[in-house]
Structure 1
Amino acid sequence: MKALLEVKNVSKKVEDRIIIDDISFEQQPLQKIAIAGESGAGKTTLLKIITGNAQPTGGIILFDGERVIGPEEKLMPGHKKMGYLSQHYELPNHYRVEELIWFENRLDEAAANQLFEICRIDHLLQRKTNYLSGGEKQRIALCMLLVKQPVLLVLDEPFSNLDPIHTNTLKDVLDDITARLKITCTLTSHDPHDTLSWADEILVVKDGKLLQKGSPQELYYKPVNEYVAGLFGKYNLIKPHIAGLFGIDTKGNAIMTRPENFRIYKTGSGVKGVIKKISFWGSFYEAEVVVDDAKIIVRSNSNEWRDGDKVFVGIG
């Protein structure tokens, strides 16, 4: 299948500072890609280059086989087949929602009504923008992009300022945009809860470099380093002599494991340990267990454990 988006050896340098360093990847039609990384990693700059809102200093962007032109080469930056929603979007105050949307609308009434329903804003059309919540404003800004019928939707940190209720609503909206409107989506986020459950492929960026790309499962269970591991949740860095207690031969190397890879038991043939701390996380508990000279984080569904309990730790 021909790629919809091709990012080829793209770099961005400002004076002596490298913002983006030789990044390459492809996106297939309807493939959901998330770009993950801490603040300042270069995610926003990369999105701006992809959408024609920033000029690369090296490399090329191809969209549907044609080069994306940067703002130094055209009067109005951006690409007419891409919708880009910045994390710093603003809606003008004192307008009714339907007024803002119809200014941009290219759809007939039936298609527009379907879009309002998909964006979960059909009940907000008569409301003025200064009486909207942050999550409602974001979905309206999203709808204002979608009425222009983009092929690729690019969102910069769309979940960053939302509470859990509005975050889940937006995730449902994005799923419907792909499934019902057949629009390809790319987004950035630093929160694993946003990316792991949504993306088909995740790209991890640090200091402008692409460190790892792959499926959510691959990045979660097989991170290339501690930075990648830490982006997607807690992990244990197990030294060789501790791994040996569990019968694991690491060939002299430390290994990374997730808390759910271990189990704790009252009795058994596991490795002896002592619970230092128990934390409640809603749907599970986390135990910090001291084994030999190491601390191992273990996830458990049971509330039977207490600080100071002597336990056996095994591989789950």
Structure 2
Amino acid sequence: MEFLTVSGISLEEHGNRVLQNISFRQPAHHRLALAGESGTGKSTLLQIIAGLIQPSAGEVRVSGDRVRGPVEVLVPGHPGVAYLSQKSDLPHSLRVEQVLRYANKRPPAEAQALYALCRIDHLMQRRTDQLSGGEQQRVALARLLLGAPRLLLLDEPFSNLDRGHKRTLQSIIDELGTRLGITCLLVSHDAADTLPWADEILVLHQGHIVQQGSPEQIYRQPANEYTAALFGDYNLVRGVARRQLAPRHAAAAALLVRPEAFQLSLTKPGLKGTVTTVRYFGNHDEVEVALSENTVRVRQPTGQWAVGQIVFVSLVPGGGWPLEE
């Protein structure tokens, strides 16, 4: 039996279809991410799974038990399911110790270990209004974990955090599955949040699932240009260049190529082009090359390229993916 089963979920609000026939399954301890641009229904779907919004059709089951929405229960929510929103929603001006004591359902030793895991054991005497945004988010997470959830729903948990606090929270979430046995479902619009973390990614667009697969499949073989754009920079190569770079995909409307999937050389073989721009990004250069019909962006080691150079462009093995437009 799958741990989480989402079957035929649809939602209509004010005559508008927000979600349309969403179905997927998530095994226990499987890291699943929902990706999509703002307004695609990601957060709404997460709240339906949490039992906080009533769907118009379909059902959600956790370990075989149906999740009932707020129309069916007095207090919204489902036992064993915790939902962490973008905002911490902590009580104002209470000490952290008070907030956590009221929520705690674990023995003292387990609670202390959880505070250490969330990197908040030094914050106990601070008031919630004295915490930074990252500290508030970690306290809010600890408060949820004290209830011993089996499924943790993470709604854009890093969106309001600076780089340091974001990396700390990412490390904590990485440890949850192995140390506490909690299954996580993460919503994000940022590829940096999902690609290195997820076992599987679902891509939502206008309330539909448009692609489902491993991070590598989603990144290297996107179903469409929308999905490609969500997960990084890309080139669309057309015309003669497309046929010369990838003869086996000659019938495709365009060839999608990530910048790192090109390679440059000062000698043949390859398509002849001229370097028009070189941008320095620390660990690599982004080089723009004008070909006869296309201008492409290429990611290369730093310090080797200069504007005006004549170069030859080719693909690394397996570097291009055909797209129908």
Q: TM-score range by the shorter chain?
A: over 0.9
Q: Which residue of 2 aligns with 1:265?
A: 265
2:298 matched to which residue of 1?
298
DSSP-derived class of the 1:249 partner? helix
Matches for 1:76-115 after TM superposition, within 5 Å: 76-115=75-114
Equivalent in the alignment of 1:230? 229
Q: Distance in 1 between matches of 2:283 and 2:124?
A: 37
Q: C-alpha root-mean-square deviation of aligned residues, in Å?
A: 1.2
* Residue pairs, 1:117-266, within 5 angstroms: 117-253=116-252, 254-266=254-266
Do residues 281 (structure 1) and 281 (structure 2) align?
yes
**Equivalent runs, 1:32-111 vs 2, <5 Å:** 32-111=31-110
Per the TM alignment, residue 247 of structure 1 is displaced from its structure 2 partner at its CA by 4.9
Given that residues 265 and 312 in structure 1 are in contact (C-alpha distance below 8 angstroms), is that contact kept between their aligned partners in structure 2? yes
Q: Do 1:240 and 1:252's aligned partners in 2 also have CA atoms closer than 8 Å?
A: no
SS in structure 2 opposite 1:296?
strand
Q: What is the count of residue pairs matched by the alignment? A: 315
Whichever residue aligns with residue 19 of structure 2, its letter is: I
Secondary structure of the corresponding residue to residue 21 of structure 2: strand
Which position in structure 1 is the counterpart of 2:7?
Answer: 8
Q: Distance in 1 between matches of 2:92 and 2:292?
A: 61
> 2:186 and 2:258 mapped to 1: Cα distance?
25
Q: Which residue of 1 aligns with 2:321?
A: none
The equivalent residue for 2:323 is: none
Structure 1 stretches of at least 4 aligned residues deviating more than 3 Å after TM superposition? none
Looking at structure 1, the residues matched to 36 and 246 of structure 2 have their Cα atoms a distance apart, in angstroms, of 34
CA shift for structure 1 position 283: 2.0
Tell me the TM-score normalised to structure 2 length.
0.94
Check conservation: 2:243, 2:250, Cα contact below 8 A.
Answer: no
Q: Find the counterpart in structure 2 of residue 314 from structure 1.
A: 314
Greater shift, 165-174 or 225-234, is seen at 165-174
Partner amino acid, structure 2, of 1:88: K
Distance in 2, matches of 1:40 and 1:86, equals 16
Displacement of 1:162 after TM fit? 1.1
Q: For 2:185 and 2:105, how far apart are their aligned partners in 1? A: 23
Q: Give the TM-score of the pair, scaled to structure 1.
A: 0.97
Structure 1 residue 289: Cα displacement: 1.0
Counterpart of 1:20 in structure 2: which amino acid? Answer: L
Unaligned runs of 5+ in 1: none
CA distance in 1, matches of 2:161, 2:306: 35
Deviations 1:174-196 (A, max 9, x none): 01111100000011000000000
Contact 1:240 1:249 in 2 (8 A): no
Distance in 2 between the 1:113 and 1:131 partners? 21
Letter aligned with residue 188 of structure 2: S
Deviations 1:42-91 (A, max 9, x none): 00110011110000101111111111101001111011210001113322
Instruction: Check conservation: 1:42, 1:208, Cα contact below 8 A.
Output: yes
> How far does residue 240 in structure 1 lie from its aligned partner after superposition?
4.3
Amino acid at match of 1:290: A
CA–CA distance in structure 2, aligned partners of residues 247 and 12 of structure 1: 42
> Contact 1:68–1:79 at 8 Å: present in 2 too?
yes
* d(CA) in 2 for partners of 1:222, 1:216: 10
The aligned residue for residue 30 of structure 1 is 29
